[in-house]
């Protein structure tokens, strides 16, 4: 099976999109997933347009789906989330340098989102369990996870980083009210959380 290019053609119905994605990805042998670093999932144009209309992040959907499938290997999932967060941080820097406030805002949000999910899984907190049961991470669950993790880790900056990220998500990305000067300094919060998450999860796995 060529995992570097996987064609996926789901059909929209009343069933939750994530559960359909999980079902589709479940047909890929897990033993093969480690054989390639990256592969492409091709979706019909109509599906992509509909996802955009509903503000569905397809990449996030697939990452969450694969994470649920690989729940028996938490270290692999956490590593994947941190890799994604690193990529989002680099993309955020590029957008900041090119005065792209809207996209920079969303990339910084995604850095924080992936870090919170990684920490939640590392500590197997209530919100992670609930997300696993429901098949997706609701935004409210991420917010609750950030608050719980801040308490567990005795680090209030975890909750603060989430508050900044959500503010960027709403007012920087969706409402496009922030300028590049408004969001430039927030790179520091995203970078701090990524570095903190790496150090914490590394200690946890030792």
**pLDDT for the residue 96:** 97
SS3 122: helix
Instruction: Give the pLDDT means over successive 10-residue stretches in the chain (206 positions).
Output: 37 40 42 48 72 70 65 82 95 97 97 97 96 89 98 98 98 97 98 98 86
Q: What is the CA radius of gyration of the chain?
A: 17
**pLDDT for the residue 116:** 98
- Can you tell me the distance from the alpha carbon of 206 to that of 28, in angstroms, rounded to the nearest whole number? 31
Taking alpha carbons only, the member of 12, 101, 133, 118 closest to residue 63 is 118
CATH number of 73-206: 1.20.120.330
- Can you tell me the distance from the alpha carbon of 60 to that of 62, in angstroms, rounded to the nearest whole number? 5
**pLDDT for the residue 50:** 77
Beta bridge partners of 42: 7
CB atoms within 10 A of CB 50: 14
**What are the residue ranges of CATH 1.20.120.330 in the chain?**
73-206
Two tokens at 141? Answer: 């669950």
Q: Are 88 and 57 in contact (CB under 8 A)?
A: no
**pLDDT for the residue 65:** 63
């Amino acid at each position: 099976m060529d995992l570097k290019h996987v064609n996926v053609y789901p059909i929209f119905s009343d069933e939750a999109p994530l559960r359909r994605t999980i079902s589709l990805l479940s047909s890929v042998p897990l033993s093969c997933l480690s054989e390639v670093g990256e592969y492409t999932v091709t979706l019909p144009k109509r599906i992509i347009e509909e996802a955009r209309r509903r503000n569905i992040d397809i990449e996030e959907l697939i990452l969450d789906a694969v994470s649920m499938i690989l729940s028996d290997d938490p270290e692999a999932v956490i590593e994947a989330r941190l890799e994604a967060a690193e990529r989002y941080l680099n993309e955020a820097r590029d957008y900041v340098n090119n005065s792209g406030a809207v996209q920079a805002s969303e990339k910084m949000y995604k850095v924080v989102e992936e870090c919170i999910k990684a920490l939640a899984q590392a500590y197997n907190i209530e919100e992670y369990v609930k997300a696993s049961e429901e098949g997706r991470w609701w935004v409210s669950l991420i917010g609750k996870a950030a608050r719980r993790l801040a308490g567990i880790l005795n680090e209030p900056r975890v909750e603060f980083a989430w508050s900044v990220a959500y503010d960027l998500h709403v007012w920087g990305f969706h409402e496009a009210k922030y300028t590049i000067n408004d969001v430039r300094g927030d790179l520091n919060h995203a970078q701090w959380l990524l570095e903190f998450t790496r150090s914490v999860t590394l200690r946890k796995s030792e």
